[in-house]
Amino acid sequence: MHTEDDLTLVRLAQGGDRRALDALLRRHHDTLYALCRRMTRNDADAQDATQDAMIAIVRGLDRFDGRAAFTTWAYRITANACIDELRRRRRRPDPGLPEHEVEPRGAAPGIDETVADRHDLDAALAGVPEDFRAALVLRDVLGLDYAEIGEVLDIPPGTVRSRIARGRAAMAKQLHATEPASDGNQGLPRDVPTRSDGHPA
């Protein structure tokens, strides 16, 4: 069963095969959980959002028609679950992420994920507005391209590009503000353009 591709597992699960459904959910659980942790920055909220997303995936699986990749469809559901969870918790304190966390398989290198930098990066990401954060996480943590992110968030590719650029600029500004002046660009996301004075372009 573990050698089947997503579409085959989906078709089997839609036909009532519980083993296929379990295999599909297990395959993607860690990545969806990592997305929730980055977006909510709270372990308990991430667990709740992941559970909500998994339930929504199971309930909506019969409506999945295969026109988009299963992962794109699942990320859309998960991102919406995270946004709903963030709305519910706006008046609650945010303890942030613990020092050690599960990272998604195949994460993209746009945000430098060294242990030494993780605390600063988490703090900087917390200061990014939710709309920008979602696009940034989908791009720099999960490695989706602009078209896929547009499908997940249901926005045009130009808006995706703008949100990512503005999210990276916001992160770079906060990261730069926490570093000694002599450190220059150290710690900035790698593909944020900079001027000669070290600030985001």
What's the CATH number where 59 sits? 1.10.1740.10
Instruction: Answer yes or no: do 110 and 190 share one domain.
Output: yes
Residue 201, domain member (yes or no) = no
Q: Which domain holds residue 92?
A: 1-97
Instruction: Answer yes or no: do 127 and 191 share one domain.
Output: yes
What is the value of pTM for the model shown? Answer: 0.67
Predicted local distance difference test score (pLDDT) of residue 183: 46
CATH of the domain at 183: 1.10.10.10
Number of DSSP helices (H) and strands (E) in the chain, helices first:
8, 0
Instruction: Answer yes or no: do 120 and 169 share one domain.
Output: yes
pLDDT of 43-74, one tens digit each? Answer: 899 999 999 999 999 999 999 998 889 999 99
Single out the residue in 78, 97, 116 at which a domain terminates.
Answer: 97
First to last CA, the chain: 49
Task: Give backbone dihedrals phi and psi of 179, rounded to 5 degrees, phi first.
Answer: -105, 150
Asked whether 140 and 108 are in contact (CB, 8 A), the reply is yes
pLDDT of 2-41, one tens digit each? Answer: 457 999 999 999 999 999 999 999 999 999 999 998 888 8
Residue 29, domain member (yes or no) = yes
The count of domains in the chain is 2
Q: Give long-range contacts, CB 8 A cutoff, 24+ apart: 90-94.
A: 94/41, 94/42, 94/126
Rounded to the nearest angstrom, the gap between the alpha carbon of residue 160 and the centroid of all alpha carbons in its chain is 14
Q: Which residue has the higher pLDDT, 122 or 32?
A: 32
Instruction: Answer yes or no: do 88 and 112 share one domain.
Output: no
Instruction: Answer yes or no: do 150 and 190 share one domain.
Output: yes
